[in-house]
Structure 1
């Protein structure tokens, strides 16, 4: 069955491929950057980030030498900030170990920080026409439905087995297009949950799940673990035209990123004022309070935001004006969402 995929998918992809900025060339830096950005992030959300990132850091050398605050600001709002830190570590490896030239061999690509089997396969096939499959969630879904395979998509052995089966049928001279065709089919046609568009799928004549009417049973889904819920109070401390920010701990969630000051638990107004007084900012008034929620993969933050005007800039904080907050300091969305409280 799988050996028929290139014949069916390549003409379909040529006609239906989306015009995405990272598909306009096969420069390894561009493909690599897009694949890292697209991990757990929607295509439409990535477009603007991708173009802004390349405008500021146009090549691997620029990425390797960029200050961390510049990197984090460019990544602000994309989340999973370890991705951009690993991106820079890998760029530094390319500069130091490969003379600034992105490696062509799969093993060398795979050895770079932050690059796993999927990303290495994507880069090797798209940029260097290597017959190496890139098996992400979209590709897994396509193959598991085609073959009515009930194996868990979370099992790394299943991913590797499918990757080996696909790599064996890669068409010489069209490896990059075949990789992208598989991705495109899963992203636009063989959709998850209740939305597969079987009537326009170029593989519907092969698909065993479609023949059985069991598309929605594949891939099988392991039971979800409940998210841990944490409560926090976030402070917007305003002194004149500047707001207080600080760095998060170097380990743990959002490690080393800028944040608004916060404390565990949801503080009542009087408690929040006492906390601010303990910091030495001498609060003079409450501008606004609000409730927000921010969801990470395994943790949910239930947040209470408190905007206070202050009489003193306590030295344990960095005090940033609007220009710095907009152009220099990258705040994760969990905190940045409170900067508009006064406008509500």
Structure 2
């Protein structure tokens, strides 16, 4: 790395800055291994402010590893509803079951053992190990990679696995034995609030400007370098908000693939016009009494975009294969991915 890499001289000013006024986050107030683990999984690809409410509801409903391991699928999926990337919560549950079977319901105070649990990678293992157990291991996320790139004025794409490995190695060499968790959180905090991902970094607020090579070179706007993203695949779908009397129709998605095993509003492939939609559904035996167009919507996943049109449909009799629920049950008991929420506005007072 340029500028000699990451220096141990960043530790003292960064910890002093962190001590002087870091964000008051609920999982920091009581950093038990379980709370740190759940918060870190929730925070993956999700804004901190969005996680606050989810974390509080989760801890009230499932306060321990044992509670999570014993929870029915519908319960933990509903608690996760709207956070997206549902494989995260499925892995949380799988790991909780494994923890109960192998470790008595406790997370192990061992980085390598944590790394072997479902859904836990190098970053999460490092966060839990350092914050909850005080082990001197780094936790390198996107915020930390951005700070490291700017401090060293490194032009290696931060998406390059070799770069991440190099940063982990250099941070491991300067990790303080007495406050490793605080240093990891300080680096993440700096990247989230000062050395920000979008827009210019707030260098006037940074405790590391005297050490920052890109600040002194005037290149903060050029760093970090990112590899070009691949264009997302676009899928077109026709979403159906189906009413049968006072009930709403749901369908369960296949176990594999995108949103696997979750509840959804029934849908059809492609953008179908009203006449074609009616014709297709009536050929399946649907007794359509009313069909109204809904406002189109778009939902972005990591690699796919759904471009959706939709219809509100009232039926005489319920067709086979659909699950009918009350609007209140839909609100309380069924986890519906946020991709479909735009089509519920017509019944939002009921839901």
TM-score when scaled to structure 2?
A: 0.95
Partner residue, 2:33 = 28
Partner residue, 2:151 = 146
Question: Could you tell me how far 1:154 is from its partner in structure 2?
Answer: 1.3
Partner residue, 1:228 = 233
Q: Is the 8 A contact 2:271 2:308 kept in 1?
A: yes
Question: Could you tell me how far 1:330 is from its partner in structure 2?
Answer: 0.5
Alignment of structure 1 residues 241-252 onto 2, 5 Å: 241-252=246-257
Q: Is the 8 A contact 1:280 1:312 kept in 2?
A: no
Confirm whether residue 16 of structure 1 aligns to residue 16 of structure 2.
no
Alpha-carbon deviations, 1:98-127, whole Å to 9, x = none? 111210011101110000000000000001
Partner residue, 2:3 = none
Q: Is the 8 A contact 2:274 2:293 kept in 1?
A: no
Partner residue, 2:194 = 189
Partner residue, 2:330 = 325
Alignment of structure 1 residues 214-293 onto 2, 5 Å: 214-293=219-298
Aligned residues: 344
Partner residue, 2:59 = 54
Determine helix, strand or coil for the equivalent of 1:280.
coil
Determine helix, strand or coil for the equivalent of 1:290.
strand
Q: Is the 8 A contact 1:287 1:309 kept in 2?
A: no
Query: Within 2, Cα distance between the matches of 1:19 and 1:343?
Result: 33
Deviates more, 1:269-278 or 1:207-216: 269-278
Alpha-carbon RMSD: 1.3
Deviates more, 1:252-261 or 1:287-296: 287-296
Query: Within 2, Cα distance between the matches of 1:41 and 1:218?
Result: 23
Question: Could you tell me how far 1:71 is from its partner in structure 2?
Answer: 1.2
Confirm whether residue 168 of structure 1 aligns to residue 168 of structure 2.
no
TM-score when scaled to structure 1?
A: 0.97
Question: Could you tell me how far 1:194 is from its partner in structure 2?
Answer: 2.1
Question: Could you tell me how far 1:342 is from its partner in structure 2?
Answer: 5.1
Q: Is the 8 A contact 1:238 1:308 kept in 2?
A: yes
Query: Within 1, Cα distance between the matches of 2:213 and 2:269?
Result: 51
Query: Within 1, Cα distance between the matches of 2:30 and 2:298?
Result: 40
Change (3 A) 1:260 1:225: same
Determine helix, strand or coil for the equivalent of 2:49.
helix
Query: Within 2, Cα distance between the matches of 1:275 and 1:77?
Result: 31
Confirm whether residue 65 of structure 1 aligns to residue 70 of structure 2.
yes
Question: Could you tell me how far 1:343 is from its partner in structure 2?
Answer: 6.3
Partner residue, 2:127 = 122
Question: Could you tell me how far 1:322 is from its partner in structure 2?
Answer: 1.0
Unaligned runs of at least 5 residues, structure 2: 1-5
Partner residue, 1:106 = 111
Question: Could you tell me how far 1:315 is from its partner in structure 2?
Answer: 2.2
Query: Within 2, Cα distance between the matches of 1:278 and 1:324?
Result: 30
